[in-house]
Amino acid sequence: MQSVIFNLVIVLASCCFVVAQGSIQDPSGLVTKSGEELLNSRTEWKEPEYPPIARMAGAGGPIVVEVEIDEQGNVVSARVVSGHPLLQAATLKAIRAWKFKPSQVNSVAVRITGRITYTFPVTEPVFKEKTIAELEREVRDDLSSHEARYELGTAYLGLTRYGDAVLQLSAAIRIKPDFVEAYLKLGHAHFRLHSIERALLAFSEAARLNPNSSEAFHSIGLANIQLESYEAAVEALKHSLEVEGPITTSHFLLGKCYLLLKRPAEAVISYKNGLAKYPESDKGHYGVGEVYLELEQFADAIAEFKEAIRLSEGQGRSHSHYHLGLAYLRSGNREAALKEYQILKRLNKELAGQLLEELRKPTTRAVGD
């Protein structure tokens, strides 16, 4: 481990923290500190783990995380501002467990906010510590090895070489017909190639071979949603939540299915179950906001879309602003809806145009007026 050096750049092992300078206290009492000040005040911390899938894909670079720390020095809120998607969850998991020295202003304990940038090294894509060239050589050396084919196919999948992944994973299955993991990866490769029917066949075979695979049933549900077979998706997603090691996002997909099937009460329950396990899911808050909008519970919808905006980035944030504008408009708050339109003009002109069309429609009274 290298020694820690603070001078705008803090080097920790092979990774570094880049920080800003200065502390500011806003009128609400929340104090903004620089990244350097935050790092200097840590009392307990562990470095983020480098996710195997990210290492396999050669993902690296900076992850910017905005944190809020309470008066006792605990991280009460953390969200990713920017960074590679494969590295975000690991960074958040690590930083949320950090402890900081409590801060005071004029002998009064205060809450702290600030941004920390953690930088992962950019490396050559590997799988199980092997490079792509090594994996390809292993396949050439033993064409009958289902494991070699599987490892190479999985590596190709991580590199978005989906066609090559299909070839290697299919070969692995021909060699070992009961290879559950290969069927799952093959399904994901077909899904990425938009061959949804083929993906569904692969996922279904994985589920037949292993009826306790939450991933298999989750993936069956996802494929059926793409095929607009919502009832079949519901059954698969419900099963994925009943087996060992359920995938939390199955709750959110199930909620979406119930909404599309015009079963809003069940949709709310599913989304709430998911948010109970993953409270900082922007997709979860966005989804339950959609249901409340459908139910004309506008105050609840507005609150959920605001939370989705706080947690999301990119295209997800644009859709949340659009639906927040709709919720304001339908609740009778045209001024707030216009503000969302102005925001959308900078983020997504197409959605801004759609919201403008809604704003131009004849005014209707809000429910309850």
CATH topology of domain 9-120: TolA/TonB C-terminal domain (3.30.2420)
pLDDT of amino acid 21: 40
Question: Residue 167 and residue 151: Cα distance in Å, rounded?
Answer: 12
Give the Cα separation of 74 and 96 in Å (integer): 8
Comparing 9-120 with 280-369, is the CATH topology the same? no
**Dihedral of alpha carbons 98, 22, 68, 315, sign:** negative
Q: Helix, strand, or coil here: 110? A: strand
- Which residues, including other chains, have CB under 8 Å from residue 47's CB and lie 6 or more apart? 12, 13, 15, 94
Instruction: Confirm if 115 and 65 have CB atoms less than 8 A apart.
Output: yes
Q: What is the pLDDT of residues 259-304, one digit of tens each?
A: 999 999 999 999 999 999 888 888 899 999 999 999 999 999 999 9
**Contact, 38 vs 112, CB < 8 A?**
yes
Give residue limits of the domains in the chain: 9-120, 280-369
Residue 197, H or E segment: helix 196-209
Tell me the residue type at 274. G
pLDDT digits over 5-44, tens only? 333 333 333 344 443 344 555 545 678 888 878 888 899 9
Predicted pLDDT of residue 18: 43
Mean pLDDT across the chain, nearest whole number? 85
Q: Which amino acid is at 99?
A: K
Q: Is the pLDDT of residue 366 over 60?
A: no
How do residues 145-174 score in pLDDT, each as one tens digit?
999 999 999 988 877 789 999 999 999 999
pLDDT band at residue 318 using 50, 70 and 90 as cut-offs: confident
> pLDDT digits over 174-205, tens only?
999 999 999 999 999 999 899 999 999 999 99
CATH 1.20.140.10 fits 280-369, yes or no: no
84 or 338, higher pLDDT: 338
The two beta strands, 61-69 and 112-120, are: antiparallel
Cα–Cα distance for residue pair 109/92, rounded to 1 Å: 25
Distance of CA 28 to the CA centre of its chain: 30
Predicted local distance difference test score (pLDDT) of residue 138: 94
Note whether 334 and 363 are within 8 A (CB): yes
How many residues are given for the chain?
369
User: pLDDT digits over 108-147, tens only?
Assistant: 888 998 888 888 876 655 566 678 889 999 999 999 999 9
What pairing do the DSSP bridges indicate for beta strands 9-12 and 15-18?
A: antiparallel
Count of CB atoms situated within 10 Å of the CB of 37: 19
Place of tokens 């402890």: 99
Say if residue 221's pLDDT is above 70: yes
Q: Which of 114, 52, 112, 32 minimizes the C-alpha distance to 81?
A: 114
291 within 8 A of 267, measured Cβ to Cβ:
yes
Residue ranges in 279-364 assigned as alpha helix (H): 282-294, 298-311, 314-330, 334-347, 349-360
The number of beta carbons lying within 10 Å of the beta carbon of residue 179 is 22
What's the pLDDT band for 1 if we cut at 50, 70, 90? very low
Cα(367)–Cα(330) distance, rounded to whole angstroms?
Answer: 8
Question: What pLDDT sits at residue 315?
Answer: 61
